[in-house]
Chains A and B, each alone.
Chain A
């Protein structure tokens, strides 16, 4: 998999502190509070006091969002980061849509209808939201929404992506990086290898694959 002479890698020195920061950033991003605290104590790293303070709250928000309890997620977000949703209309729309989907899934048709009329239709005034809105609304037409063409809206993958977006937005709101360094590094390596592969063709290194890298 790796076509370079392994000795090339030996020449690159890595600062241990940098590595620890990378790990820490991952833990913080995904709200692993205890693990992060353990790492800090174990390595004796110095960090500012309120680095971990809002971690719990963010964890709760993420949890409710990925479970589909959008209203709770919204409530907590309002507490932790007021005005965040006002500034992120798309995100707000997605969260409300999540709630709508929940209502439809729990067969609460009337409630879903009323909720949609009260909250969702407002977003329909902007052209780019119309298609999304139609997809949500269309769920009502099906007795078994999971068998409809929009079944992906009910899946956990979709909820996960919304939760991720919310998490990033909260981090950004607190002026923290919205992507963990680990993610960024992997993305960086992939893009560069892809570029080289395109430029040099067969002469260059093959595209980066994380799976293959981990196995080797």
Chain B
């Protein structure tokens, strides 16, 4: 190979920080060119740069392997400076392949001889040696040889070469796809550092560093829903993101519909409770709704008709929470006597777990597989009970817990504390505290928080200072504190299907829908301030009453 005069100078290190070796950089590019099929370009680069992709010895080795010149390849291997262990391992792999090829050609005795005279003396991998022995005699017993059968010689030898590359020092033969791997790493780092990455379709480009604009985080009120006559305590989107349910101190619950254009309109008002409605739970198929009155009864509603289908109560005690079981055929509810009951839809009590203490909030949730029940067991502790394995895990906090919610993948629990902190716990295996979120205000009431956004990368919470708080989940960084409500924000819910839609419920009797600033441009431009209001009445598409 001719040694060219390089007009670009012959610096060994390149790049702005001087940490990249020229020879490594060029070789990786050369390898990428060959992988892409640009043989000529690869060859020219090798020539022009004077940096060969492989040393002559390695080139020779590769050719010998591809030609099936096993003895030659072993001899060359011995000349390459590698450690004894690696040499033995690589030799083993080559000889194993040689044996397999013999078997393919039915040259059984040759295979036996290879095993006895060449492979066994290497004195490594005795188990594999025994397996090979059995393979020779009884191929059906071991499927490990199956990988050779039926594949053309050329591609199986190429496969061998790739396997050898993984075993030999990386500088000898550049790993397949190395350049692509480095770039993917860089893209990942960029994406993780982007706090505002909240869109399904933002694609990463190599031309500039990835940097989402803030406009994808819900930060502006897009709608104010005035359907309730008193404090709104709970709000939650349905699983399919097409409906929103809210419940209030006015003893009612409301089902809102999310239209195609992102505007919500009232569908049904659910009346019947005699007490403030504490909590709502959507059935897994979103066709039914459970509501729970404060120390009262649980009602089951049909979503399409808005009718109350059944009332569940227990004599002498009141119910304080409700939640569906993942199979949609049962539900559980917390009771004022500190127990938790599992009901079937007909109203039969299936199981009852006795609790220890009287706790104000009796949040209860079940993982999607129905196996783990997560409930409050003390004022400052949460119990994660595995129903089948009968194993209990405890999440212990230093302060009273006011509420909690489970991530969609069932692996993380978001816990709201009385001291104005929200803690994120990893509950797979032994519970571990992962992150803390601060900034919001909570002193007297139950404030709820939730996961949300693209891949649930955000945490949102209500606050007693009337703002909605949003943090970046991974870093704990407070991204936004959104003003708008005129009373404490009790509960927030992020649309599971639309990462840019957030709902908040407040003591000011209203529910606000928040969206990204980009969205406002799509709204019907009848409003100068980009905010649309909706009261309790059904609204005609064409007219809005303010």
Contacts and interface: CB of A to CB of B under 8 A. Distances in A.
B18 to A, nearest CB: 54
Interface string A153-194: 000000000000000000000000000000000000000000
B137 A116 contact: yes
Contact of B133 (A110, A124, A141): A141
A114 B530 CA distance: 87
Interface string B94-131: 00000000000000110010011101110000100111
B43 interface: no
A141 B137 contact: no
A105 interface: no
Given A110-B109, A124-B141, A143 B134 contact: no
Contacts of B115: 140-141
A100 to B, nearest CB: 10
B109 A140 contact: no
A109 interface: yes
B112 A121 contact: no
B110 to A, nearest CB: 12
Given A109-B109, A110-B109, A134-B130, A121 B137 contact: yes
B120 A149 contact: no
B134 A142 contact: no
B137 A142 contact: no
Given A141-B115, A141-B116, A130 B141 contact: yes
A137 interface: yes
Contact of A143 (B108, B120, B130, B133): B120
B138 A141 contact: no
A133 interface: yes
Given A117-B138, A124-B138, A130-B141, A141 B119 contact: yes
B130 A141 contact: yes
Contacts of B134: 133-134, 137-138
A36 interface: no
A109 B137 CA distance: 12
Contact of B108 (A113, A133, A138): A113
Interface string A111-139: 00100110011001000001001110111
Nearest to B117: A143
A75 B112 CA distance: 30
B120 A117 contact: no
Contacts of A135: 130
B289 interface: no
B96 to A, nearest CB: 12
Residue of B117, B120, B131 with most chain A CB atoms under a 10 A cut-off: B120
Contacts of B131: 134
B341 interface: no
Interface residues of A, number: 20
Given A121-B137, A121-B138, A130-B141, A137 B130 contact: yes
A145 to B, nearest CB: 10
A140 B141 contact: no
Nearest to B130: A138
Contact of A141 (B108, B109, B120, B141): B120
Given A109-B109, A113-B108, A138 B138 contact: no
Contacts of B280: none
Contacts of B109: 109-110, 113
Contact of A140 (B121, B126, B136): B136
A113 B112 contact: yes
B132 interface: yes
B137 A138 contact: no
A135 B134 CA distance: 9
Given A134-B130, A149-B126, A140 B138 contact: no
A113 to B, nearest CB: 6
B117 A140 contact: no
B328 to A, nearest CB: 43
Interface string A85-116: 00000000000000000000000011001001
Contact of A138 (B112, B117, B121, B129): B129
B236 to A, nearest CB: 54
Contact of B129 (A109, A130, A141): A141
B157 to A, nearest CB: 24
A117 B108 CA distance: 12
A120 B134 CA distance: 11
Q: Most chain-A Cβ atoms within 10 A of its Cβ — which of B109, B129, B133?
A: B133
A7 B274 CA distance: 96
B132 A141 contact: yes
A143 B134 CA distance: 16
Given A113-B137, A121-B137, A140 B108 contact: no
Nearest to A116: B137
Interface string B145-156: 000000000000
Contacts of B141: 121, 124, 130, 133-134
Nearest to A148: B120
A118 to B, nearest CB: 10
A11 B164 CA distance: 80
Candidate in B108, B120, B126, B137 with the most chain A CB atoms within 10 angstroms = B137
Contacts of B130: 134-135, 137-138, 141
A138 B135 CA distance: 10
Nearest to A141: B133
Given A109-B109, A110-B109, A113-B108, A137 B116 contact: no
B138 A142 contact: no
5 contacts: A113-B112, A137-B130, A138-B133, A140-B137, A141-B129
Interface of B: 108-109, 112, 115-117, 119-121, 126, 129-134, 136-138, 141
Given A109-B112, A134-B141, 6 more contacts: A109-B109, A110-B109, A113-B108, A116-B137, A133-B141, A138-B130
